Structure 1
Amino acid sequence: MNDEKKIKGYASPEGTSEYKEWCIKNRDVNLENFNKIEGIHLSSIGMGTYLGKPDSKTDKLVIDAALESIDKGINVIDTAINYRFQKAERAIGEVMKKLSNTNIKREYIFISTKNGYVPGDADRGLDSSEYIEEVILKKDLASEEEIINFNCTTIPYLEHQITQSLENLNVQTIDLLYLHNIAESQKPILGEEKFYEMVERCFKFLEKKRKSDIIRYYGLATWDCFRVSSSNPNYVSLKNLIEISKNGAKKVGNASIGFKFVMLPYNLMIPEAATMKFQEGKTFFEVAKQNNIGVFTSVPLMQGKILDEPQIQKLRERYSVKTAAQSALQNIRSYGEPIIAPLVGHKQLEHVKENLEVAKIPPDI
């Protein structure tokens, strides 16, 4: 796809402010449903796209759910190149195409995606192993040794994956690009020194991509590297990442750093980011807040497992909400800074409606 055919723009302060006002006026969304970071107004609930089969039926569910979410007050859409073997990104690409014919502007919507994992390609009939053979090795994007646990961060590979993500998403600019589980996949194999050298190369490369508005921001999407102690091989220091980002920005001539966001799991069953002082004597959330790092949280409903927790049922009464899912989402968005939004993977329209009821009430801070 030519760049001219891709949708221009990115989530902007002006655009997201306009979207916020429109939602408050026309969709009964609460004024406090939006959090402001880097001047942009982001909904305190986001939509994730992780689960589902790599088929056209799931595509339609995701497309319809995303369109309904955006129409009713969610402007944070999260995906990844490897979700559903690239079909998750492509479904969001269809959403962007459909929205280009409406009053919903590109500047209203914050799109995050992830690179790093070997994605496969459902539309080409390639699983992840076949993708390594047919794409990565044939195009000389990385050697077999540089692919660790189906995760790869060589610069040629990241260059290729960003180009593919832009194509899939049908946009000229990605608002937020995460490096996907790079610590969990690679750090135990690489070791401390080589891991941070790899991060340094990646961050410098991503800072260059910011200069040409290919991406606006970057971060790490993680599972446990920010929730374990420094004795764990997966452990990563947030302060180290910020320093590496500063050096990368300086080397390419950027006035500010692009490393402004992270994703990690957080809910009542996985509370470590808020409770454990694993980051140089502070909790992860404390360090993130002090350094203006925004946090998106994954698995807010634990794929449904959290809904039967007694504490969630008690919180329903406190928050005056009708369902356990609403209680779980309200609990996370009520934490306050540095959390921007829990990312919920709703596909059924009744679940979209249920979850969006939370946007009509303020966080309980």
Structure 2
Amino acid sequence: MTAAPEGAGPNDPYGLGQVMDLSALKRVYAREGPFATVYLEGRSPGEDAEKQTRLRWRALRERLERERAPVAALDAAEEALSRTRPGEEQTSGRTLVTTADGTVAFDAAWDAALGRGDAAHWDPLPVLGPFVREAARAVRVLLVVADQESARLHHLVVAEEHEPAELARGSVEGSAVESPHHVREGGLSHRRIQRRADEAVAQNAKEAAEAVGEHLHRFAPDVLVLAGAVQGRTALRERLPAEAGELLVETGRGGDEPGSWEALCDEVLRIAGEHSARTAEDAAARLSEGLAHERGVSGHTGTLHAVEVGALETLLFEDGAAAKNEGELLRSAARTDASFALVPAGTGVEDGVAGVLRFAPIPM
């Protein structure tokens, strides 16, 4: 029994996740500049969310007009914003890039403002540094809430500054005819009923585990969070495919009691935050090892040389530090299909930028 996604939140065409594939941005950089880059900060929506979004966009448009952005670029952004549901930008935020000829080169329902408010830029290159930094902090979570009869599956993208963004959801209802709940009766009758109940739990858990395996391949999460009542979790955990093992984190949150979903979201945020921190530390360890074996580079000059000769595997920015000429580096890295990740604040890489290499580049 499969569990097809039912509802969907923001689309995920740009590989939001711990190590971001910059090749998804290649088509943006293939456009001829200059570019208008617009960031709308995600905020708590109110009754006048649509009006507030219009006012916020008007202020950004006026800012871009002062920078002499052409009308076609501004109208393209305004048209893209008008196609969304009222208040969507308030909830999710938005990142847009348009060109002088009115092409929408980039559109993501994702707030990369990091609490800094709305922003707008008219520049020779798209200003995508804030977006890729926030995307690299994001964690893809497959959340499974299980009981003895069914399982609910949620595809989430979770980042520190955001509520979990749901990309899709599905459900699995077990096909077992017998009730999975034990009935208090005596003697032989009780044992037969208990055996049938155990078989029902096992059958339902087997079907749920098969669905989880399908979603692992479809969604490619960074973390699998198994939640719900202990009986359902235990039965499902014992039947999960082998590839779930290293991704699995369990929590007792997510029952039917009031406030359980909010408590579960808080737990998912905590789990994702810990995973994000570990991933940044792993990137720093890879860089340290690479530097020791001529497979790493630190500083703008060396990193740019590495990407220009096709040697750069992963472009690294230091979290919380400005990267020198980051727009130029991102464009070059995207064109050579490099990936992107963050190293922790305080790592101290030169110019706020470094790289892990595919091979040792020819010296400059």
- Alignment TM-score, normalising by the size of structure 1: 0.25
Higher strand fraction (1 or 2): 2
- Alignment TM-score, normalising by the size of structure 2: 0.26
